[in-house]
Amino acid sequence: MIEEGYFAPQLTGGGGGKGRTLRTEQRLERLGIRLEEMAFWRERAHEDLDAWSFNGAALELGQSWPKLEGVSLLEHPRVVVPEEWPVEELRLELDLGGEGLVRLSYPSRDADLFGMDTQHRSWPIKAREFSLSVEAVARLPLGVPNRGARLNRARLVWAEVDLVSLARKLSLVMEAARSLGDHDVVDPLLACAERALGLLRWPSATTEYLSRTAGSFEMQQIWSLPDGLEAHPPALDDEHRDAIRFAAQELDADLAQLKARFPSQGAVALTGHAHLDLAWLWPLDETRRKARRTYHTAVGLMDRYPEFVFNQSTAQAYAWIAEDDPALFERMKEMAAAGQWEPTGAMWVEPDVNLPAGESLVRQLLYGQRFFKRHFGKTHTVCWLPDCFGFTGALPQLLAGAGVGNFFTHKMNWSETNKFPHDLFWWEGLDGTRVLAHQFWNPSGGYNGEPGPASTLATWGNYRGKRDFPQTLLAIGYGDGGGGATSEMIERVRALESFPVVPELHFTKVSEFYDSARSAVEEVDLPAWVGEMYLEYHRGTYTTQGRTKYLHRRAERDLVAAEVVGAMAVLSGGERLGSLEPLWQVLLRNEFHDILPGSSIREVYVTAESELEGVVDDAADILRQSMNRLSDELVDVGERDAVVVVNPDAAPRPLRIESTEGLPGGQEVDGGSILSGTQTVAGLSAHVVMEAAPRGALAVSERLLENSMIRVKLNSGGTLESVYDQIAQREVLDGRGNQLWAYVDKPRAFDAW
């Protein structure tokens, strides 16, 4: 039998000192092995929760889900914590086979709710008795179906909290040393970890040791594990725990001394975040569930970590929460008032900003700012668009008009050919309006960041604006499909306070970051980017999902026309119509940057087309009512047929009307009639047209169309033989026109991208 002993440091390496024989990489490898070993003692004790039901029917741990489609309810009856287990050191660990909303119900009728996914599987409890229910879907991150969903793990764990804390710091030492490369601090930093390991007293009795480590990779490679392994092997004893606490104290002291020699370089302002695509690889209904899970997780973290600040955009998601979970919405408002939850973004959704008309972008800002002002008491000063596919040069002017002077994105780092040159700069719009823009480049997860040395050192190192403003932003939290930050992330931020070289980390509101940046750059000649920010990526999206794009443009125009004609009818004495804001909100959510461009799954477009068709139909009904009211006010009944023509645009337009019905004085065509003339209809005006002045003679034959401006000849195959400009007296075509070409299009990544 092996005697119990110490974690001996062996020979330290690097630096060329006396007796040092190990290279840095070898020392890192050894530290990693020790950390893997320590992980098997993180549980002091555990009890499996094995009385589950699935939609009312019993389901044992390890069994597969009977049904994979839709939302299922998993429940576990009353759990009683063993008397000797302290509640503050307990964790509930669940891996039930999918994503879900976990509800812990206590005898006091109090309850805690948390989001469950592959990155959020461990939560604290706060009472000695509780029951469980989980609304779950058999899905993995990013909408991937889990076709093998089963109850993998459900366990109440009494954690070795001091060991967990020490292992976290040792893990951060290893990550920092790897990230710093040949920096002078690496050798003494590793020596700090090695000295701490040398102070540990560790179990090494054969049976107990093998029982604890039986699940390790190395043990699983053995031909046959020995008999007699224990399901619940002994935990650490008080002597081991005393050694752990002493080693942790010494490690803290050593790191503090090292930081005095190698102080932090730079500063990274952290904001908790959960990028939640309104739809992408999942439909809107799942997004509503994802939002509840994500926001409950964030609020729970705020309760336990008063320094944690979380930002979230998208008024549409907030509106859904207000409908689906009013109690959660009230908690979000409370946390916002306390300064921990930061609504941001100013818009109804995070829209594509290339395809929508300017009026739609104005409505994004109008309805977004109005919602946040109504429910949270203030409007926003930061436009938060981390993931949109490029940015129109008209946006700064529109932002400034909505009181938004700051802009954030991460996406311009994604350009494939030309690297975007700035990360703190003035973005100047087409009219000369400027907003302060910032983006960070975190190669380890982008806007779904993690606050370890690897990402913080890289983000600070990549920051080119540090001479003008000595801190950069970094968003932390799992995202794209929501999820957000974890307690481990925040614990790592706390642990890194004592580390040398690593940038200073602190949580902040995004708006406060921009306020500080503005103050710092008032007298600085910041670089400026003028006009469009064109993204050299995702460009194929703009040629996909043509029906959605058509319906979107139709809905945009029809809503504007319905509002204008309705207003004209009121000004003429007609009855006032109700607000069209609900219809606009449907349109605006379908401008989300993974819906309108065309990068989502089929189910998303089934919903989008149905919703947009509904907007078009409702706008047409409103427009018809307003036209009738306007006609009643403007036109006296007479004997001659006429057409009331309204131009809802601000600019004049030539007279051209297409209708499925016959038009007085119009020309019959397939599907209806056309009325066209030389008259011009002034902007925002209504006219009664009884006769349309013809535009001139028109000659028509089987293969010829000709008027005073143009002559078009067709050949027998349907292509254009000639297009002759009568005014310029020249042939327009060089060869045949109207040819049909087919190309092979096989994108590199994602069918629509």
DSSP per-residue letters across 438-501:
E----TTTTTSB--SHHHHHHHHHH-TTTTTSS-EEEEESB-BB--B--HHHHHHHHHGGG-SS
Q: Is the pLDDT of residue 543 over 70?
A: yes
Give how many domains the chain has, as a whole number: 6
How many other C-beta atoms lie within 10 A of the C-beta of residue 542? Answer: 17
**DSSP 8-class letter at 105:** E
Residues pairing with 505 in the sheet: 268
Collapsed DSSP state (helix, strand, coil) of residue 285: helix
> What pLDDT shows up at residue 636?
84
Q: Is the pLDDT of residue 8 over 70?
A: no
CA distances from 321 to 274, 326, 327 (A): 15, 7, 9
Asked whether residue 285 falls in the same domain as residue 359, the answer is yes
**Which of 444, 446, 456 has its CA nearest to residue 499?**
456
Would you say 308 and 284 are in contact if contact means Cβ atoms under 8 Å apart?
no
**Which of 454, 443, 449, 463 has its CA nearest to residue 177?**
454
- Report the CATH number at residue 94: 2.60.120.260
430 is a domain residue: yes
Average pLDDT over the chain, rounded to whole?
Answer: 94
Asked whether residue 300 falls in the same domain as residue 393, the answer is yes
Residues 6+ apart with CB under 8 A from 239: 201
Would you say 465 and 518 are in contact if contact means Cβ atoms under 8 Å apart?
no
Asked whether residue 294 falls in the same domain as residue 436, the answer is yes
Lookup result for tokens 């070795």: 160
CB-based burial, 682-695: b 16+ in 10 Å, e otherwise = eebebbebeebeee
Task: Specify burial of residue 603 (Cβ count, 10 A radius: 0-12, 13-18, 19+).
Answer: middle
**Which of 154, 157, 159 has its CA nearest to residue 95?**
154
Q: Is the pLDDT of residue 438 over 90?
A: yes
Reported as a single tens digit per residue, the pLDDT across 329-370 is 999 999 999 999 999 999 999 999 999 999 999 999 999 999
CB-based burial, 2-22: b 16+ in 10 Å, e otherwise = eeeeebeeeebbbeeeeeeeb
| pLDDT interval class at 751 (50, 70, 90) | low
> What pLDDT shows up at residue 381?
98
Asked whether residue 411 falls in the same domain as residue 524, the answer is yes
595 is a domain residue: no
CA dihedral 261, 264, 266, 268 (to 10 degrees): 180
CA angle 691, 694, 699 (to 5 degrees): 140
Q: How far apart are CA 38 and CA 58, in angstroms?
A: 36
Q: How far apart are CA 418 and CA 155, in angstroms?
A: 51
Reported as a single tens digit per residue, the pLDDT across 590-644 is 999 999 999 999 999 999 999 999 999 999 999 999 999 998 888 888 888 889 9
**Which of 693, 697, 694 has its CA nearest to residue 705?**
697
Reported as a single tens digit per residue, the pLDDT across 471-501 is 999 999 999 999 999 999 999 999 999 999 9
Query: Which domain does 735 fall in, by range?
Result: 696-753
Three-state secondary structure string covering 652-697 = CEEEEEEECCCCCCCEEECCEEEEEEEEEECCCEEEEECCCCCCCC
**DSSP 8-class letter at 391:** B
Asked whether residue 363 falls in the same domain as residue 459, the answer is yes
596 is a domain residue: no
597 is a domain residue: no
**E strands along 356-458, which residues?**
382-384, 406-408, 424-428, 434-438
Asked whether residue 550 falls in the same domain as residue 473, the answer is no
Collapsed DSSP state (helix, strand, coil) of residue 318: helix
Residues 6+ apart with CB under 8 A from 200: 6, 7, 240, 243, 244, 247
**DSSP 8-class letter at 274:** -
Lookup result for tokens 């003035």: 426
**Which of 511, 513, 487, 646 has its CA nearest to residue 115?**
487
Reported as a single tens digit per residue, the pLDDT across 51-74 is 999 999 999 999 999 999 999 999
Q: How far apart are CA 242 and CA 187, in angstroms?
A: 27
* Token pair listed for 508: 């902040």
Strand 382-384 with 685-689, pairing: unpaired
Which of 693, 724, 740 corresponds to the end of one domain? 693
Mean pLDDT score, 118-123: 98
Would you say 116 and 94 are in contact if contact means Cβ atoms under 8 Å apart?
yes
* Token pair listed for 15: 């630096």
Asked whether residue 669 falls in the same domain as residue 720, the answer is no
* Token pair listed for 497: 């306070």
> What pLDDT shows up at residue 20?
60
640 is a domain residue: yes
Which of 646, 669, 693 corresponds to the end of one domain? 693
110 is a domain residue: yes
Strand 472-476 with 267-272, pairing: parallel
Q: How far apart are CA 73 and CA 710, in angstroms?
A: 69
492 is a domain residue: yes
* Token pair listed for 253: 């002291």
> What pLDDT shows up at residue 745?
78
pLDDT > 90 in the chain, percent: 85
Asked whether residue 441 falls in the same domain as residue 329, the answer is yes
Collapsed DSSP state (helix, strand, coil) of residue 382: strand
Strand 504-507 with 267-272, pairing: parallel
| pLDDT interval class at 12 (50, 70, 90) | very low
**Which of 349, 343, 401 has its CA nearest to residue 372?**
343
- Within 99-229, residue ranges assigned H as helices are 161-180, 186-198, 206-213, 217-220
Asked whether residue 676 falls in the same domain as residue 614, the answer is no
**Which of 605, 611, 633, 634 has its CA nearest to residue 546?**
605
Residues in the chain, total = 753
Run of H or E including 130: strand 129-137
Return the biggest CA–CA distance within the chain: 114
| pLDDT interval class at 743 (50, 70, 90) | confident
CB-based burial, 611-641: b 16+ in 10 Å, e otherwise = bbeebbebbeebbebbbebbbeebeeeeeee
How many other C-beta atoms lie within 10 A of the C-beta of residue 108? Answer: 9
247 is a domain residue: yes
- Let me know how many helices (H) and strands (E) the chain has, helices first: 17, 32
- Report the CATH number at residue 503: 3.20.110.10
Asked whether residue 484 falls in the same domain as residue 563, the answer is no
Would you say 106 and 147 are in contact if contact means Cβ atoms under 8 Å apart?
no
Residues 6+ apart with CB under 8 A from 602: none
pLDDT > 70 in the chain, percent: 97
Q: Is the pLDDT of residue 17 over 70?
A: no
Mean pLDDT score, 225-247: 94
Asked whether residue 277 falls in the same domain as residue 310, the answer is yes
Asked whether residue 439 falls in the same domain as residue 513, the answer is yes
Q: Is the pLDDT of residue 18 over 70?
A: no
More confident residue, 592 or 744: 592
Q: How far apart are CA 248 and CA 251, in angstroms?
A: 5
Which of 137, 159, 181 corresponds to the end of one domain? 159
Q: How far apart are CA 96 and CA 116, in angstroms?
A: 9
